[in-house]
Structure 1
Amino acid sequence: MLRSQVVLQMKEVRVGVIGAGAFGETHSMVYSELPGVTLVAVADLNADRAREVAARFGAESWYDDWAPILERDDIDAVSVVTPEDKHKEPVVEAAKAGKHVLVEKPIATSLEDADAMIRAAEQNGKVLMVGHILRFTPGYVQIKQAIDSGSLGEPMWAYSRRNGSLAQVKRISGRVSAIMFLGIHDIDLLLWYLGGEVERVFCESVRKEVSRSFGVPDFSWILLKFGNGALGSIETGWGLPEKWADWKIPGDWGAFAADIEVEVIGTRGAAYFDFPPMMVTGCDSEGFKFPDLIHRPRMHGRTEGAIKIELQHFIDCIRDGKQPLVSGKDGRRAVEVALAAEKSSKIREPVKLPLSHGF
């Protein structure tokens, strides 16, 4: 069957993107390439940026405020890709306006905001999906499938590392900690892998140059104790050199600016995921470089990889009326653990879950 015939059989889903930063641009690009999906509008407080992204990916409209997107009856869904602490209002208002919502991780920086979003989506019968991209990344999914198959036995221990560069913390001006910006990926991953509920969180942090400049820890180590007896450990921070993955050419060699490793040990087996380097490495006048082949590689002029799978899943949930793989409640669980880790880092004592609001 021809691709054009497949599109004709699909219900068109018309989307808007709220937030036109680096990842909002990626959402816009992917939506513009998905079959049966129309990118209608892009909004950003920076009008020039909204205009630029809308024009580049063929959106018919752009706005310097997100409210006009929600007022349009011809938009079915939105991606909310604003800064982490600015998710609540557009998500809640989008649900009230009858829009399905994909909100980037973390769902919020407080439990109160997360609860308000979850409640709005439930009350209005709309899909609320949180953009935890690792659940759509083949290597991580393969480990999850091995766990679910029983081939590893009962999971006992999992370790996940995600260390970013100084360039990242400078780009976001330390608006959140590495725990909430990077480690939130790994928290969700270990919740997915190990199952059950986290009972206790302990976190120790290093505070050097990043802390002096931005008020957030340079590196943090997090230990999770699960109610089912399993243990999880997460390493995250900002301290890699600024030149880490800093190349400019080739343009399609998108940089993946993090040092990552995952290990899961069960009663009958173990699984490992380790990168970079990826399977492709180059070296030229800019030095060594290794393109992202996993999350959002560009191939033949189109975006592939986990981000495409993730956004396609969101569209499929809308079309088919099914629940997303990462619900608002899943996002809330990850935020609760992240908040507990931040608190533990400050008081240098273990923190028990569940947290009370505003702890």
Structure 2
Amino acid sequence: MNPNTSTPRVAVVGAGSFGSLHIGALSRLHGCELVALCEPNERVAAGLAEKYGIPRTYTALDQLLETEELDAVFLTIPEHLHVGFATKVINRGIDCFIEKPLALTAAEGQQLIDLAAEKQVILQVGHILRFEAQHAILYDSVVNGALGEVMTIRAKRNAPSAMWETSGKSAHIAMANLVHDVDQILWMSAGQRAVSIRAYERNFTGHEFPDCVVATIEMSGGTLAMVEASWSVPSGAPANIVSDQWRGRFDASLEVVGTTGTGHVQVYESGLEIWGEDASSAPNSALWPEIHGAIGGALRDELANFLDRISGRSAAEIVSLPDAVHGLEILEAIVESARTGTEVRL
């Protein structure tokens, strides 16, 4: 961050459904000044700029970086653009927040980390569940020994079948849907690393990528982990993700079983239900709820943590970059094991 500025000047790059949520959170956070938005769709950019009072908009990253004096950039862009865009930001000595995944491969992710260290900038990846209250409480229970030794961790993420059109066409389901779950396994296993992976996939629709995947992961400290994902939740299921941009239901959970206790989280369930004549919903109120016109929840806390770090108000590095890279190694191994039908050792 520029030592001559007391409030970080920041820009958001990408104004899709999640970029819009970032803008809604940053516009009300007191720890920054949102000075610019970069979005190729000029109509979308103009609408968000007017709604949130963003002074300037740009259609290209190079134009933004050449024109604005920035302390940080938030990248909420398609996954295949992450490395190229982040490299440009970091090379200019600008702190960078990048939505998950850090990269599409572990090698590319490590390159970004090395570049950030060389340029002495702060790089953070959007592993939002580390800021969600239920997951954070479960993590504290694990590290405080309340569950004893962790024997097994099980994560499930069944996504809406309708999401395949926007997310399932471009990547293997493991890469598309299991980034958060693998990160939680690494977080909850407290420093362990994966040593062996065996995965299975099935394709019922004939699409390029499989419809479901299941994997077992052997960890270095003896913990056994299991993950599963599918594009299986029907459109008629009560929605638990409800926003202006999207509506659907995720069937997701996390379970940690120890020698003396067990912890269980229903990831998107908040207890809130809204019943209507045509449809019912159970909106999640923990991740990015809009309350009194502002985006709150775990997303707000995640962005506030990054702003505190770049401003020197806090050194708490809740998201681990080495974990982000190892998570990509695990995901690559899941894809390889499922493709070949063999065990992959790391």
Is the TM value for this pair above 0.5?
yes
How many angstroms apart in 1 are the aligned matches of 2:23 and 2:87? 21
Matched with 2:272 is 280
One-letter amino acid matched to 2:133: P
Report Cα offsets for 1:59-112 as digits up to 9, x if no partner.
111111111222245211011111111101111111111110111111111123
One-letter amino acid matched to 1:67: D
Matched with 1:85 is 80
Matched with 1:346 is 339
Identity of aligned residues (%): 27
Tell me if structure 1 keeps the 8 A contact 2:31–2:308. Answer: no
Q: 2:306 aligns with which of 292, 295, 314?
A: 314
Matched with 1:299 is 291
Q: 1:314 to 1:256 in 2, by over 3 A?
A: farther
How many angstroms apart in 2 are the aligned matches of 1:35 and 1:233? 40
Q: 1:111 to 1:276 in 2, by over 3 A?
A: closer
Report Cα offsets for 1:262-283 as digits up to 9, x if no partner.
1111111111112554311121
Report Cα offsets for 1:118-168 as digits up to 9, x if no partner.
121111101100100010001111110000111111111010111111121
Give the secondary structure class of the aligned counterpart of 2:88. Answer: helix
Q: TM-score, normalised to structure 1's length?
A: 0.89
Matched with 1:202 is 198
Report Cα offsets for 1:230-278 as digits up to 9, x if no partner.
10111112111134455998x6898563111111111111111125543
Q: 1:336 aligns with which of 295, 309, 329?
A: 329
Matched with 1:260 is 252
How many angstroms apart in 2 are the aligned matches of 1:121 and 1:275? 32
Deviation at 1:169, TM superposition (A): 1.6
One-letter amino acid matched to 2:198: F
Matched with 1:24 is 19
How many angstroms apart in 1 are the aligned matches of 2:159 and 2:128? 17
Q: 1:240 aligns with which of 210, 233, 243?
A: 233
Deviation at 1:328, TM superposition (A): 3.0
Give the secondary structure class of the aligned counterpart of 2:134. Answer: helix
How many angstroms apart in 1 are the aligned matches of 2:241 and 2:168? 22
Deviation at 1:58, TM superposition (A): 1.6
Matched with 2:64 is 69
Matched ranges for 1:179-198 at <5 A: 179-194=174-189, 195-198=191-194
One-letter amino acid matched to 1:69: L
Q: 1:91 to 1:142 in 2, by over 3 A?
A: same
Q: 1:73 to 1:282 in 2, by over 3 A?
A: closer
Deviation at 1:297, TM superposition (A): 0.9
Structure 2 segments unaligned to the other structure (5+ residues): none
Give the secondary structure class of the aligned counterpart of 1:94. Answer: helix
One-letter amino acid matched to 1:18: V
1:123 and 2:123 correspond = no
How many angstroms apart in 1 are the aligned matches of 2:65 and 2:21? 21
How many angstroms apart in 1 are the aligned matches of 2:47 and 2:320? 31
One-letter amino acid matched to 2:279: G
Please provide the CA RMSD for this pair.
2.1
One-letter amino acid matched to 1:105: K
Q: 1:161 to 1:304 in 2, by over 3 A?
A: same
Figure out how many residues of one structure are paired with residues of the other and give that number: 340
How many angstroms apart in 2 are the aligned matches of 1:340 and 1:240? 26
Q: 1:166 aligns with which of 161, 165, 189?
A: 161
Q: 2:215 aligns with which of 222, 226, 232?
A: 222
How many angstroms apart in 1 are the aligned matches of 2:71 and 2:152? 42
How many angstroms apart in 1 are the aligned matches of 2:87 and 2:246? 33
Tell me if structure 1 keeps the 8 A contact 2:18–2:76. Answer: yes
Deviation at 1:344, TM superposition (A): 0.8
Tell me if structure 2 keeps the 8 A contact 1:254–1:292. Answer: no
Q: 1:106 to 1:204 in 2, by over 3 A?
A: same
Q: 1:272 to 1:253 in 2, by over 3 A?
A: farther
Tell me if structure 1 keeps the 8 A contact 2:75–2:98. Answer: yes
How many angstroms apart in 2 are the aligned matches of 1:248 and 1:273? 17
Q: 1:145 to 1:206 in 2, by over 3 A?
A: same
Give the secondary structure class of the aligned counterpart of 2:70. Answer: coil
Q: 1:158 to 1:91 in 2, by over 3 A?
A: same
